[in-house]
Amino acid sequence: MRDKIKVLIVDDSAVVRQSLEEILSSDPAIEIMGSAADPFVAAIKIKKQVPDVITLDVEMPRMDGITFLQKIMSQHPIPVVMCSSLAEKGSETALKAMEYGAVDIIQKPRMEAKKFFEESRIMICDAVKAAARARIKSISTRKKGAAKKLTADAVIAPPTRVAMVRTTEKVITVGASTGGTEALRVFLETLPYDAPGIVIVQHMPENFTKAFSKRLNDICRIEVKEAADGDSVLRGSALIGPGNRHILLKRSGARYYVEIKEGPLVCRHRPSVDVLFRSAARYAGSNAVGVIMTGMGDDGAKGMLEMKQAGSATIAQDEESCIVFGMPNEAIKLGCVDKVLPLKNIAEMVLRECSA
C-alpha cells in the first residue's frame, strides 16, 4: 500500500484552512501534515518535515503567495497547488504563479450547496493527488511580450458511424490538465498567424480561463480568447473553454462554432476533454486533429478513441515532456493515438496533418 500524500495547507483564513482539512482528509490517499496561517509559520513546519504537496493561498499578509512560491522553488522545490478565490485580481496572480513553478490552481471550497461542495471536494483532492505525481521542472525563459463517474453521454450523444460531409477546413481540438498551462503556451506560441481554428479544454476553475486566455493572447501570433456560446472557430484563433462549463464543437454548413453548456462533471471534470473530443468526432470527423496533453486521469481517452474511429488524426504528448503522464498514457493504452511526440514537436505535426 502506498504511503499517504502529506499535505501542508497555507492560508490566512481559518475557515478556509478548516474547510480544506475536512475536504482533503476525506480522501484515504491524503494525510494532512499541518496548516499554517502565513508563509513564516509554514517555513518553520517545512524545516521539521517536508510535505509532499503544499496548498498555497495567493493573497496573505506579511508575505504573499508568489514570493513564498519563489523561495520554495529556489531553495527546496515542492509541488505547490495555488488556492485562489474567484476575484479577477486573484486569478491573474494565481496564473502568474504557474509561471513560477506552481503545478495547478484550485478554487477555494464552495460551501453554498451540497452539490457544489461535493464537486469542490472531487476537484481539490484530484488536484493534490496530481501534484504529488508531478515532475517539478525548471521554468523556461519567457519571451517578453468519489462521485459517480459520468461519461460524455451525459452531455452529448455518441457520434454517428459516418461523420458529416467533409469541408475543406480543418479544426484542431486540444485537451490538457495538470501542467497544461505551460504546455499550451509552448504549443500556441509556435503556431503561425493563419493556423487552423483551435478549440481547447484546460482543466481550470471558472474565471481563471479568462485571465489565462488574455495572457496567451499577449504572447501568441494567433488570437486567443475565452470561448463564448456561438463563437465561430476561425483560422488564426484559439478558443479556450470557460471554467465550470462544457465546450462542444458544432457545425452549421461549412461553419464550425462552439456551444457552451452546463452539465454534470464528466470524468470528474467540467469542462471535460471527453465532451469536446466526442463533439469533434461527431461534427468534424476526418477534418479534425485531436491533441491530448499532460494531466492526471483518463479524461479525453475515450473521446480520442471516438475521434480516431471517425477518421481524425490523433496526437499525444510523450512521457518525458509531460508534468503528469496520465491522460496521454490512457489514450495510448486504448490504441487511439497515431503519434506520440515531445511537446516541442506537436505544433509542427498538427500543421502537417492539417495540410495533408
CA distance 153 to 263: 11
DSSP assignment, residue 230? T
The residue annotated as part of the active site, out of 27, 203, 231, 279, is: 203
Residue pair 205/230 in contact (Cβ under 8 Å)? The answer is: no
| CB neighbour list of residue 68: distance below 8 Å, 6 or more residues apart | 10, 39, 42, 56
| φ/ψ of residue 7, rounded to 5 | -120, 135
Q: Are strands 246-252 and 255-261 parallel, antiparallel or unpaired?
A: antiparallel
- Is there a catalytic annotation at residue 274? no
CA distance 165 to 193: 27
- Is there a catalytic annotation at residue 194? no
Q: Which residue carries 453548456 as its cell?
A: 261
DSSP assignment, residue 180? H
CA distance 87 to 65: 15
The residue annotated as part of the active site, out of 85, 177, 237, 312, is: 177
| φ/ψ of residue 276, rounded to 5 | -65, -50
CA distance 95 to 75: 21
Cell of 278: 466526442
Residue pair 157/276 in contact (Cβ under 8 Å)? The answer is: no
Selection from 139, 134, 119 nearest residue 79 by Cα: 134
- Is there a catalytic annotation at residue 84? no
Residues in the chain: 356
3-state helix, strand, coil in the chain (%, to 5): 40, 20, 40
Helix (H, G, I), strand (E, B) or coil at 290: strand
Element housing 184 (H / E):
helix 180-190
The residue annotated as part of the active site, out of 120, 299, 318, 321, is: 299
DSSP assignment, residue 234? -
> Which active-site residues does the annotation give?
177, 203, 299
